[in-house]
Amino acid sequence: MPQPNHISKLGVPDPATLDDDLRAIWQKCVDKLGFVPNVFSTYSLKPQRLRNFMATYNEIMLSDSGLSKLEREMVAVVVSSANRCYYCLVAHGAAVRALSGDPELGEMMALNYRVAKLDRRQRAMLDYTWKLTTTPWLVDDADRAVLRKAGLTDHDIFDLSETIAFFNLSNRMATATDMMPNREYHRTNR
């Protein structure tokens, strides 16, 4: 049976009807990636929310930080692994493969990060990622102390935590809308 090729189960507006700023972004995506990520199409049902989502995403994932872009993508995938979010695992798994040049690292982050070879700082970051995602009520001073001992500054802990928090948001939007990842993600950087 052919697998689903819908974008979202809550309906997607015709891109031609979107505001100019969004249509410009659509064009930029096509130029750069070859396609418009389905998360943008899904969110275009509520244009202002899409704008906020993109602003938040860009700031968290692309601005300067003590965490490298690869590390932020690794965190994104581990959150999505805990929440078993299909869209985010496929899209951000591809990002880990692209940024690391290591296809297996992407698979490990998606399937069980504990099998990966990581330095102590990265392992502490991912253990914290799992805990803040699955049992946030148990996180307290002792967890912050572990991160500091592994070398993270308070700004790093802020950035790490917001990355975790953000993917706990986007995982739930992807699941709630049954968002399908663009097929292009599957094949890149294998």
Q: How far is the CB of 69 from its own copies (least distance, A)?
A: 16
DSSP state of 36: -
C-alpha torsion 102→81→185→23, nearest 10: -130
Q: How far is the CB of 154 from its own copies (least distance, A)?
A: 4
Site for its own copies in 128-187 (CB under 8 A): 132-133, 136-141, 144, 154-155, 157-159, 161-162, 164-166, 168-173, 175-178, 180, 183, 186-187
Tell me if 85 contacts its own copies by CB under 8 A. yes
C-alpha distances out from residue 101 to 15, 45, 104, 161, 189, Å: 33, 35, 9, 25, 7
Which of 36, 76, 108, 125 forms a contact with its own copies (CB under 8 A)?
A: 108
Q: b vs e for 9-24, b when ≥16 Cβ sit within 10 Å of the residue's Cβ?
A: eeebeeeeebeeebee
Site for its own copies in 110-129 (CB under 8 A): 110-112, 114-119
Q: How far is the CB of 48 from its own copies (least distance, A)?
A: 5
Provide the mask over 27-56, with x wherever binding to its own copies is found by CB under 8 A and - wherever it is not: ------------------xx-xx--xx-xx
Q: How far is the CB of 137 from its own copies (least distance, A)?
A: 4
Instruction: Choose between 33 and 169: whose C-beta lies nearer to its own copies.
Output: 169
Distance between CA atoms of residues 33 and 29, nearest Å? 5
Length of the chain: 190
Q: How far is the CB of 151 from its own copies (least distance, A)?
A: 16
Q: What share of the chain is helix, strand, coil (3-state, %, to 5)?
A: 70, 0, 30
Helix, coil or strand: residue 125:
helix
Instruction: Choose between 32 and 117: whose C-beta lies nearer to its own copies.
Output: 117
Site for its own copies in 59-78 (CB under 8 A): 59-60, 63
Instruction: Give the number of residues in contact with its own copies, rule: CB under 8 A.
Output: 74
Q: Quick one: tokens of 90?
A: 């496929």
